Amino acid sequence: MERTHTCGQLRAADAGREATLMGWVNRRRSLGGLIFIDLRDREGITQVVFNPSISAAAHSLAEEMRPEYVVAVHGVVRLRPEGASNANLATGEVELEATQAEVLNPAKTPPFYINEDAEIDEPLRLRYRYLDLRRAKVKNNILFRHRVVKYIRDWLDKRGFVEIETPILVKETPGGAREFLVPSRIQQGSFYALPQSPQQFKQILMVAGFDKYFQIARCFRDEDLRADRQPEFTQLDMEMSFVDQENVLQITESLLTDLVESLGTHRLLAKPFPRLTYDEAMAKYGSDKPDLRFGLEIVDISDLAGASEFKVFQAALATGGQVKALRAPGLGHYSRRELDELVQFAQNRGAKGLMTVELAEGGPKSPLTKFMTAGQMDRLAQLLNAQRGDLILIVADRPDVVAEALGQLRLEVGRRLNFMDPNLLAFAWVLQMPLLEWNDQEGHWQSKHHQFTMPMDEDLHLLDTAPQRVRAKQYDVVCNGTEVGGGSIRIHRRELQEKIFRLIGMSDEEARGMFGHMLEAFEYGTPPHGGIAPGIDRLVMLLSGAENIREVIPFPKTQSGVDLLTGAPSPVTRRRLADLGLTLLPEAARTAWQSDNP
Ligand code: ASP
């Protein structure tokens, strides 16, 4: 038998035609002497009916079929009888009447149902990922991901971008994220690293004259994992020559806009994307990746708070802190217990405390009423645009603590009030990031993005005198509270690059040892260039509405970096280690597999 159609293909117009389908048994049921099988493949489900008076052989074979058996069926397409069509299936108006069948491969009873959208333990799903991937939801995510990537490739190709692969075995770059190391067998004692991104190669491609580059690039970071992190992930890596920041923003924004509009799954909140400076984002939303699907801006009430009699406010302000507030619309009825919960929430995020003001019927209810005049209370409500029935939340602390606590409270309030519309995409640009941040442990500056980022022209003169005030030509594109991608205009002159290396604590010798190839390349005619790298996994997750990144990655790893399907990482034999010139420390050896004859 040869497959003629997929299981998602047959329609009423095919009635009377012969067809051969191959796929998996999704469900089997017997009814009045007939056997019905829902046959499933990637494209859909088709009902097959086995009638003993049409083919006794096929019918008796169908009796043996169980869920997940792989079968081939040949037969005639029939319109389903009146009232028996299934509006939920694309093929629901027809069925295949089997004249011939074959079991291509039986299957054990799967450890979970494939044909139901039930909650299943994630480790079990990952262990049997090939079964999990048969389930409609995950399968659709993977197909959707293909569509997104295909759209991006075609879009960029049409605009003159060239996809170029860069190496996976690369030179270690200390300073950024921790990299995975790969020991070299041929040069024992030396190591490759897996790239945290193709950053250096894409810049070198600009030196080489490939002025518009992209790559659907796998990146590796050996970092502690969080819910939305994987040790390997995919980004849309892009780089362009002869561009300034505005060009990169424009091209990225039109790609994202066209993508979203062509998929038609979401509404864009704003076009063009709003632009915020880093300082603005931190001040108004307490985050450099604000969720702009709703307002609820954080308001600085330091002046008002300083004029109050409240000691906590005064102490915070006297030590360089701030007093800021957030309005929680309509939550002014919260009980003592609910308020305590919010206080605990703020404390868990580092705040020493949380002051609450309920704008109740009879006037504001708050411990603050003892320390503020009625006029000051009115002024507070006015500053926050708050009305009767609202709740005001106040934090007094160091600026970073205030930002974190109120930023998280803002999200929490947004969640409680259902302000996070899942059908809305609120993209925005965050610009003018600080170039450097202070590394307290090592006592020197370090790059906030990466060391190839160009400072803003107007801040160049501050590099020697006030490095903390230097802003970068760096941009992040954020959406619904997550960072979708970041990039920068790069340094393309050797002297400035060397200056930055020195500033971030590298001796000239170290810089030459690690980045000599970049410095040298900059002396052979390097065009001005810049780029960006939106994360594909994050983007697909946002666009598909998946609740975590593992749902859109075909073979993801667990939070502890384990591939439950294959069992990686796994110990290796002593002989393999010896090949590489390695021995294990006793602690590591104890857990390792010591047999040389597995
Ligand atoms: N390589 C950077 C990153 O992975 C992105 C860029 O600057 O283009 O974050």
**Residue 594 confidence (pLDDT):** 47
DSSP state letter for 66: -
Same domain (yes/no): 98, 150: no
What separation in Å is there between the alpha carbon of 220 and the centre of ligand 1? 12
Other Cβ atoms within 10 Å of 542 Cβ, number? 21
Identify the band that residue 333 occupies on the pLDDT scale cut at 50, 70 and 90: very high
pLDDT of residue 596: 43
Instruction: Round the average pLDDT of the chain to a whole number and report it.
Output: 95
Domain final residue, candidates 378, 402, 419: 419
533 lines ligand 1 (CB under 6 A): yes
480 lines ligand 1 (CB under 6 A): no
Q: Report whether residue 486 contacts ligand 1, using a CB cutoff of 6 Å.
A: yes
φ/ψ (deg, to 5) at 135: -75, 145
**Per the omega criterion (within 30 degrees of 0), is the bond before 272 cis?**
yes
* pLDDT at site 261: 97
To test the pocket of ligand 1, the residue of 179, 194, 197, 248 to mutate (highest count of ligand atoms within 8 Å of its CB) is: 197
Instruction: Note whether residue 479 is domain-resident.
Output: yes
CA dist 496 and 147 (Å) reads 42
Tell me: do 75 and 160 sit in the same domain: no
Within a domain: residue 158?
A: yes
Residue nearest ligand 1's atom 6 by CA: 487
Task: Using the mean position of ligand 1's atoms as its centre, give its distance from the Cα of residue 237 in Å.
Answer: 7
CATH number at residue 307: 3.30.1360.30
**Number of domains comprising the chain:** 3
Is 454 inside any structural domain?
yes
Name the phi and psi angles at 159, rounded to 5. -105, 20
Q: Is 6 a domain residue?
A: no
Do both 253 and 312 map to the same domain? no
| Shared domain check, 401 and 300 | yes
Asked whether residue 595 carries a pLDDT value surpassing 90, the answer given is no
Has residue 306 been placed in a domain? Answer: yes
* Residue 196 identity: Q
CATH code at 66?
2.40.50.140
Domain range enclosing 144:
139-276+427-552
CA distances from 564 to 135, 558, 573 (A): 18, 7, 21
Q: Which residues contact 281 (CB under 8 A, 6 or more apart)?
A: 287, 288, 289, 290, 430
E-assigned strands of 512-598? 529-534
Give the per-residue pLDDT at 224: 83
User: How confident is the model over 75-127, as pLDDT tens digits?
Assistant: 999 999 989 999 999 999 999 999 999 999 999 999 999 998 889 999 999 99
Q: Comparing C-alpha atoms, which of 487, 497, 404 is closest to residue 448?
A: 487
pLDDT band at residue 593, thresholds of 50, 70 and 90?
Answer: low
Contact 214, 497 (CB under 8 A): no
In tens, the pLDDT along 18-34 reads 999 999 999 999 998 99
Asked if residue 348 and residue 232 are part of one domain, the reply reads: no
Q: Give tens-digit pLDDT for 261-308.
A: 999 999 999 999 999 999 999 999 999 999 999 999 999 999 999 999
Cα(23) to centroid(ligand 1), Å: 43
Q: What is the DSSP string of 354-412?
A: -EEEEEETTEEESGGGGTS-HHHHHHHHHHTT--TT-EEEEEEE-HHHHHHHHHHHHHH
- Token pair of 221 as six digits: 């970071």
Domain boundary among the residues 394, 419, 444 is at 419
Strands 34-41 and 44-50: antiparallel
The residue type found at 470 is V
| Rounded distance between C-alpha atoms, residue 192 and residue 168, angstroms | 9
pLDDT, residue 202, reads 98
The tokens of 83 are what?
């009232």
Residue 450 sits in the same domain as residue 493: yes
Do both 453 and 523 map to the same domain?
Answer: yes
Q: Is residue 440 very low, low, confident or very high in pLDDT (cuts 50, 70, 90)?
A: confident
| 77, β-bridge pairs | 96
- Residues 439 and 408 both lie in one domain: no
User: At residue 22, what are phi and psi to the nearest 5 degrees?
Assistant: -130, 140
Q: Are residues 176 and 101 in the same domain?
A: no
User: Does a structural domain hold residue 569?
Assistant: no
Instruction: For residues 425 and 435, give the distance between their C-alpha atoms in angstroms, rounded to a whole number.
Output: 28
Class of residue 45 by CB neighbours under 10 A (exposed 0-12, middle 13-18, buried 19+): buried
Measured between alpha carbons, how far is residue 239 from residues 103, 161, 284, 436 in Å? 52, 9, 31, 22
User: Where is the domain boundary, 419, 442, 465?
Assistant: 419
Let me know whether 158 and 265 are in one domain.
yes
We report the CATH number of the domain holding residue 244 as 3.30.930.10
Q: Which of 170, 173, 194, 199 to mutate to test the pocket of ligand 1 (most atoms within 8 A of CB)?
A: 199
Report phi then psi at 72, rounded to 5. -115, 135
Are 144 and 267 members of one domain?
Answer: yes
pLDDT band at 598; cut points 50, 70, 90: very low
User: Which residue's C-alpha comes closest to atom 4 of ligand 1?
Assistant: 197
Distance, in Å, from the CA atom of 233 to the CA atom of 218, rounded to the nearest integer, reads: 6
257 and 364 inside one domain:
no
